[in-house]
Structure 1
Amino acid sequence: MRINLPTWLTLFRVALLPVMVLVFYLPFRGHNIVAAIVFALAGVTDWLDGYLARRMGLTSKFGAFLDPVADKLMVAVTLFLLVASHRGDWSGIVMAVTSAIIVGREISISALREWMAEIGMRATVRVAFLGKLKTVMQVVALIVLILQHEKEAEALRLYHIGEGLLVLAGVLTIWSGMHYLRAAWPSLRDDGPVAARAQDHDGKA
C-alpha cells in the first residue's frame, strides 16, 4: 500500500493528539496557548488533506477510512480533556452534556454509515454541508475553550463565548444527525431481507 500526501497529513493529525494532551497538562506558562496551536494545526491539516485529495486526485481507500476516524478522535479527545478539567458547577454540567451529545452523535452516525455501506446504500448518508458546518463550529469552539480553560478566562469572558459556540455546535450536531437519519430512514424501516441479513451477520436473534 502506497501512502500519499493527504494520508500522511491525516496520520500527522492523529500523531498531534498525544502531543496536545501532553502540552495541555504540562505545568508551564502558556501551555494552553501551545495546546490551542497544536489543535488548530490539526484542524488545518483536516482541511488541507481533503483539499489536496480533491485537487490532485490523490484519493485512496485507506485515506477515506482514516480521515473521519482522525476527525472524531480530534474532537472526542479534546472534549474529554475539557470536561475533565471543568468544575462541578452548571457550566461543567453544560459542558458534559454537550460533549456527550456530540460524541454520542458521532458514534451513532458512524454506526449508521457502516450499516448502510453493508447494504450498498452508503451514498444515502454522504457528508452534507450541515455536517461540515457543524465540524467548523466545533473546531472554533474548542480552540477558544482550550485557550481559555484556566481561571482567568472568566475575567475575559472569552471562555463563555466558547461555551456558547460549543452549545451551538451541539445543536447543529443533533440537526445534522437527524438529517442523516431521515436520509437513511427508508432503509431502516424496511423489515424485509435486509433485516434478516443483518440478523445473520450478528449471529443472534
Structure 2
Amino acid sequence: MLTLPNILTLSRIFAVPLLAWLLWWPQWTAGYAAAFVLYCVIGATDYLDGYLARAQGTVSKLGIFLDPIADKIMVAAVVLMLVATRDISGLHLIAALIILLREIMVSGLREFLGGIQVSVPVSRLAKWKTTLQLIALGAMILAGAVPGWPWVKLIGLASLWSAATLTLVTGWNYLRFGLRHMES
C-alpha cells in the first residue's frame, strides 16, 4: 500500500531525526536556517499527501493511521529540541507542556475510542490550533536562523501561547466527547 501520498507521509517521519539534528546546536544559525527549510518542506508534504490521496482517490487506512502520527512526531520533536536548546524557556515552557500533554491525551483518547469504533472528528478550532502551533514552531526555528530579528521570536512566542490556549479548549472539548462514550 505504498502509494505516493503514503510515501510522502513516511518521508515526513524519516525527516524528523534530521530536523532534530539541525536544531542540536543553538548557536549554529546555518543549521537553524536549514531546519527552517526542512520544516517548511515537511509542512508542504503534509498538505500534499492529503491533497493527492483525495484527488487520486487513494485514501488508505495506512495513510489515515500514519498522517496524524507523523504530525505529532514532528511537533513533539521540535518542541523538545527547542526546549533543550533553551529557545523555549522560562514561563514559555508551560505553553510547550500544554501542547505536548494535549497531543498525548488526544492520541490516547482516539486509540481508546477507536477500540469501541467511535470516530473523533477534527474540529475547525483544532485546525486553527494546529495552524498556530505550526506557525509558532516555524517562527521559533526561524528566530534561531536570524537572531538579529527579535520580532520573529516574539511572533513565535505569541503564536505558541495562542496555540496553547486553543489546545486547552480543544483538548477539553475532545475529553468531554470521549467521556460520553466511557460512561457505560
Q: What is the TM-score normalised by the length of structure 2?
A: 0.91
- 2:137 corresponding residue in structure 1: 142
- 2:15 corresponding residue in structure 1: 16
- 1:36 corresponding residue in structure 2: 36
The alpha-carbon deviation at position 28 of structure 1 amounts to 5.1
Residues 1:174 and 2:171 aligned together = no
Which consecutive unaligned segments of at least 5 residues does structure 1 have?
193-205
Q: CA 1:55 to 1:151, structure 2 compared with 1: closer, same or farther past 3 Å? A: closer
- 1:148 match: secondary structure: helix
Of all paired residues, the percent bearing the same amino acid is 36
The alpha-carbon deviation at position 34 of structure 1 amounts to 0.9
Residues 1:157 and 2:151 aligned together = yes
Aligned mates of 1:137, 1:29 — CA distance in 2:
24
- Superimposed CA distance per residue, residues 75-133 of structure 1 (whole angstroms, 9 cap, x where no aligned partner): 0000001001117xxx71233211111111011011111111111212xx211111111
Contact 2:136/2:157 (8 A) holds in 1: yes
Aligned mates of 1:39, 1:160 — CA distance in 2:
19
- 2:144 match: secondary structure: coil
Letter in 2 for 1:95: H
Q: What RMSD in Å do the two structures reach over aligned CA positions? A: 1.9
Letter in 2 for 1:60: S
- Superimposed CA distance per residue, residues 31-73 of structure 1 (whole angstroms, 9 cap, x where no aligned partner): 2111111011111111111111112111111111111110000
Aligned mates of 1:54, 1:175 — CA distance in 2:
29
Contact 2:142/2:152 (8 A) holds in 1: no
Contact 2:3/2:58 (8 A) holds in 1: yes
Letter in 2 for 1:68: P
The alpha-carbon deviation at position 29 of structure 1 amounts to 4.9
Which consecutive unaligned segments of at least 5 residues does structure 2 have?
none
Bigger radius of gyration, 1 or 2?
1
Residues 1:128 and 2:123 aligned together = yes
- 1:199 corresponding residue in structure 2: none
Matches within 5 A, 1:54-203: 54-86=54-86, 92-122=89-119, 125-149=120-144, 152-153=147-148, 156-188=150-182, 190=183, 192=184
